[in-house]
Structure 1
């Protein structure tokens, strides 16, 4: 009887401890199901016209409707890149059968910021069709994961704000510093010929900044690559739309 009493007391103690820790257990479970992750799907093609190595992002989030919609878009965009490149290669190599090389293309991606509310990711495209070097460009996907909306730069700012001018002035300031580091006059356009950003300027989010970037040849020669300019949230704080201020920077 004494042993039975001890066992009952032990069981009651375990049950009470479980009840007391229920909120903690629930919190951990909710945290896990809210985690955002990205896996890869790889497609390799090698035929008469083109060699392709395509890495396609596969988003995994709690909301499966949003997940499926976004994953279809990522894959569709990359397959369209392949199909267009294939047609270009086919036309060129049929017209010039003595050309030495088939086309070479690839896609890759880089996640810049990811949590339960936002995904900021670049899909990177490369194509070599002959000549001294290939070409490449990045496509940003800045996604509000609470709604599945892919937003552009102007969406994150108040309608009456002068965000274009503020960001453009900050980029010009950074270009002056880059010129100085290259022993060029501050206002030189030898490396960077920049005037003003567009409403739909390419960007991604990283840490506490948005990073504005430009395609090859947009504002600089090929040797400069993809020019990027990081703009800290403190510069933009008073211009940001309240919704995106919370989603992007949790302000």
Structure 2
């Protein structure tokens, strides 16, 4: 009888611990999903001039006012891309009515960093209007989730920090390495022709890196794709605004992100 009672107590204890642990896991999961998750809105259009497949990210966060503003901005930009492409296609086919192939466009997205302080996402645009290949472009949105601000590169650095010079030197160093890797002289401009970044150069955040990237043909031929250069924390931390150091280099919450 004593043995049976002991077994019952043991099983009861195990069940209670399991229930408590499950409740904690569920609470953490729900909090993470509440903080930031991503849904997908799909818009398909097919008409005389253009075929479009638009995937639009829908950010879901606890601050609904911020959520609405961010989602409205991103969706508006994607719809503007469609409207501009439609007008170009319409104009083209009005000038060349004998052409039969439609323009084809699409938008997609990739979340690069998702923490409780910052959200970094790439919108990936593609348009094909004939010829050997289409054109694609990536547009980043780096969002401070504490304020709702979409910040650009110059925002994250101290005034008079000469951040452009620092980043330029790091990119040139990486280009020299790439040239050597491709059996070219270090100072060759055959593959990359880089003259320096702009104040609002495109970038996204990933882990403890700032990844600066360029459009097709900006600094390299089409075959090079979208050139990307990772700028490590050790390169820029001492010239960054203190407010952004903690925001940008905070640890990603990888289990927070959900796609639906």
Q: Is the 8 A contact 2:153 2:199 kept in 1?
A: yes
Give the corresponding residue for 2:199: 199
Q: Is the 8 A contact 2:117 2:144 kept in 1?
A: yes
State the match for 2:61 in structure 1: 61
Where 2:113 maps in the other structure, the secondary structure is strand
Q: 1:117, CA displacement in angstroms? A: 1.0
**Residues 1:231 and 1:97: Cα distance change in structure 2 (over 3 Å):** same
What is the CA-CA distance between 1:250 and the residue it aligns to? 3.3
1:65-106 per-residue CA deviation (whole Å, 9 max, x = no partner) reads 000111111111111100110011011001101113110000
Please list, as runs of the form range in 1=range in 2, the aligned pairs for 1:176-195 lying within 5 A after superposition: 176-195=176-195
Q: Is the 8 Å Cα contact of residues 111 and 121 (structure 2) preserved in structure 1?
A: yes
Corresponding residue of 2:217: 217
Post-superposition CA distance 1:31-74 (Å, at most 9, x none): 44653111110111111000000000000001000001111111
Aligned residue for 2:241? Answer: 241
Equivalent runs, 1:92-103 vs 2, <5 Å: 92-103=92-103
Aligned equivalents of 1:85 and 1:171: distance in 2?
Answer: 33
The yes-or-no answer on 1:151 pairing with 2:151 is yes
User: For residue 38 of structure 2, what is the aligned residue in structure 1?
Assistant: 38
Q: RMSD of the alignment, in Å?
A: 2.1
Unpaired runs of at least 5, structure 2: 1-16, 252-260
Contact 1:33 1:62 in 2 (8 A): no
- Unaligned runs of at least 5 residues, structure 1: 1-16
Q: Which residue in the other structure is 1:112 paired with?
A: 112
Q: Retained in 2: the 8 A contact 1:109–1:124?
A: yes
Structure 2 partner of 1:6 = none
- Distance in 2 (alpha carbons) for counterparts of 1:192 and 1:34: 43
TM-score by length of 2: 0.84
Contact 2:115/2:250, CA 8 A, preserved across alignment = no
Take 1:33 and 1:191, find their aligned partners in 2: how far apart are those partners? 43
Q: Cα distance 1:82–1:29, how it changes in 2: closer, same or farther (>3 A)?
A: closer
Once superposed, which parts of structure 1, at least 4 consecutive aligned residues long, lie more than 6 Å away?
none
Distance in 2 (CA, whole Å) between partners of 1:86 and 1:47 is: 10
Structure 1 Cα separation of the partners of residues 216 and 33 of structure 2: 39
1:28 Cα deviation from its structure 2 partner: 3.9
Contact 2:158 2:239 in 1 (8 A): yes
CA distance in 1, matches of 2:94, 2:32: 53
Q: Is the 8 A contact 2:49 2:89 kept in 1?
A: yes
How far apart, in 2, do the equivalents of 1:135 and 1:99 lie?
A: 20
Whether 2:133 is the aligned partner of 1:130: answer: no
Question: For the Cα contact (< 8 Å) 1:34–1:116, is it kept in 2?
Answer: no
The CA distance in 2 between the partners of 1:87 and 1:202, in whole Å, is 26
TM-score by length of 1: 0.87
